[in-house]
């Protein structure tokens, strides 16, 4: 018991001493000669192939420059505090740059401000929405509304091909309510809205999950047997809808957003109709490229839009090439 008590006293002592001393700045900066440039990437979680692909591409791009790209991510997308802790750790190491894909924009602001105070440039990847506070050098991501719009325009053409005119019934599968769902579905609806004869049967959340999308789509097909097309805010949900249509013995169009490798295979096999590919690898590469330009003192734009493209059976083979 005594030793434990004395340990507490030591901690208090250390902290008190720290309080009297000047904060920070005794360590050598990471860009001292001989030390490689280190860039920290902080993801929401590495449970989806999207973020894994993005980080791998950034790492490869970094290797070309002789830089070290380090990846940190909490175990699940609800661990807000862990993400903040990770940014803090990168700040303490005085890395040369930090790129963040925040679980929650608001919760990360404090950590961004800390990095700002330490003079470390901060970037945000996979989002073009400005943070409410803190200084971000550049936002790198794709325009989610545009992705939805591309899907909507593509869907309208599919319906025209089927019915001879812009008419038919579409059903929307939404993700968990939030920025991603709003942006993507708004884009889709704006494109569809140009054709008043196309009817939107319903917009139902399926929480980004394949299984849930399958249940929702199966019920929808029972209630409205003549649905022509499912638009899902993510690939996984489009795959769920495709599965439900197969089980119901119906031929409907299914369109998703992501362009994940397994979806590409489904598109090739004719299970899913199309997906708006958002190229996470490109996003990772472009993020590192933007960071390089900033570190080398070149001018960079505040927002960098990364490419997107509709993938269907006509062009899927290009992406499936290794």
Partner 1 sequence: MARIVRVLRKVGVVVFLAALCAVMAARQPEFLSMDNIKDVLVQISGIAIAAVGMTLVILTAGIDLSVGSVLALSGCAGSLAGLRCAEFGPAWMGVSVGFAAAIATGAVCGLLNGLMVTKIPLTPFIATLGVMGVARGMAYYISHSSPVQVTAGMRAIALARPLGIPFPIILMLAIYAIGWLALRHTRFGRNVYAIGGNEESARLSGIRIHTTKILVYTLTGALAAVSGLIVAGRLAWMMPQEGDGFELDVIAAVVIGGTSLAGGQGNVLGTLLGALIMGVVRNGLNLAAVDYNVQKVVIGGIIIAAVAVDVLARRLGRAGNK
Binding site for partner 1 (CB under 8 A): 1, 3-5, 7-8, 11-12, 14-21, 23-24, 26-27, 40, 46, 70-76, 78-82, 84-86, 88-90, 92-94, 104, 106-107, 109-110, 177
- Least separation in angstroms between residue 14's CB and partner 1 is 6
Q: Which C-beta is closer to partner 1: that of 77 or that of 143?
A: 77
Q: Which C-beta is closer to partner 1: that of 11 or that of 219?
A: 11
Q: Which C-beta is closer to partner 1: that of 18 or that of 223?
A: 18
- Least separation in angstroms between residue 20's CB and partner 1 is 7
- Least separation in angstroms between residue 52's CB and partner 1 is 11
- Least separation in angstroms between residue 77's CB and partner 1 is 9
- Least separation in angstroms between residue 79's CB and partner 1 is 7
Q: Which C-beta is closer to partner 1: that of 15 or that of 296?
A: 15
Q: Which C-beta is closer to partner 1: that of 19 or that of 299?
A: 19
Q: Which C-beta is closer to partner 1: that of 63 or that of 247?
A: 63
3-state secondary structure the chain: CHHHHHHHHHHHHHHHHHHHCCCCCCCCCCCCCCCCCEEEEECCCCCCHHHHHHHHHHHHHHHHHCCEEEEECCCCCCCHHHHHHHHHHHHHCCCCEEEECCCCHHHHHHHHHHHHHCCCCEEEECCCCCCCCCCCCEEEECCHHHHHHHHHHHHHHHHHHHHCCCCEEEEEEECCCCHHHHHHHHHHHHHHCCCCCEEEEEEEECCCCHHHHHHHHHHHHHHCCCCCEEEECCHHHHHHHHHHHHHCCCCCEEEEEECCHHHHHHHHCCCCCEEEECCHHHHHHHHHHHHHHHHCCCCCCCEEECCCEEECCCCHHHHHCC
- Least separation in angstroms between residue 178's CB and partner 1 is 9
């Amino acid at each position: 018991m005594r030793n434990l008590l004395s340990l507490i006293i030591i901690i208090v002592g250390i902290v008190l001493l720290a309080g009297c001393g000047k904060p920070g700045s005794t360590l050598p900066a990471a860009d001292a000669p001989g030390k490689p440039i280190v860039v920290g990437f902080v993801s929401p979680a590495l449970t989806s192939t999207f973020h894994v692909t993005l980080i791998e591409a950034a790492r490869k791009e970094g290797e070309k420059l002789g830089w070290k790209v380090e990846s940190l991510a909490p175990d699940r997308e609800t661990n807000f505090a862990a993400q903040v802790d990770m940014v803090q750790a990168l700040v303490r190491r005085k890395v040369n740059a930090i790129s963040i894909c925040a679980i929650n924009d608001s919760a990360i602001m404090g950590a961004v401000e800390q990095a700002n105070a330490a003079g470390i440039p901060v970037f945000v990847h996979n989002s073009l929405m400005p943070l409410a506070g803190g200084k971000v050098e550049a936002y790198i991501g794709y325009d989610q509304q545009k992705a939805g719009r591309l899907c909507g325009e593509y869907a309208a053409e599919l319906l025209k091909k089927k019915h001879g005119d812009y008419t038919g019934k579409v059903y929307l599968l939404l993700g968990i309510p939030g920025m991603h769902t709003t942006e993507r579905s708004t884009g889709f609806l704006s494109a569809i809205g140009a054709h008043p004869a196309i009817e939107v049967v319903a917009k139902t959340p399926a929480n980004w999950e394949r299984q849930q999308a399958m249940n929702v789509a199966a019920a929808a097909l029972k209630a409205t047997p003549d649905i022509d097309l499912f638009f899902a805010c993510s690939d996984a949900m489009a795959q769920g809808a495709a599965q439900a249509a197969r089980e119901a013995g119906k031929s409907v169009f299914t369109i998703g957003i992501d362009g994940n490798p397994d979806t590409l295979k489904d598109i090739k096999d004719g299970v899913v109709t199309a997906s708006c590919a958002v190229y996470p690898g490109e996003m990772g590469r472009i993020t590192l490229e933007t960071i390089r330009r900033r570190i080398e003192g070149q001018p960079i734009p505040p927002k960098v839009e990364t490419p997107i493209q509709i993938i269907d059976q006509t062009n899927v083979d290009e992406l499936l090439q290794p």
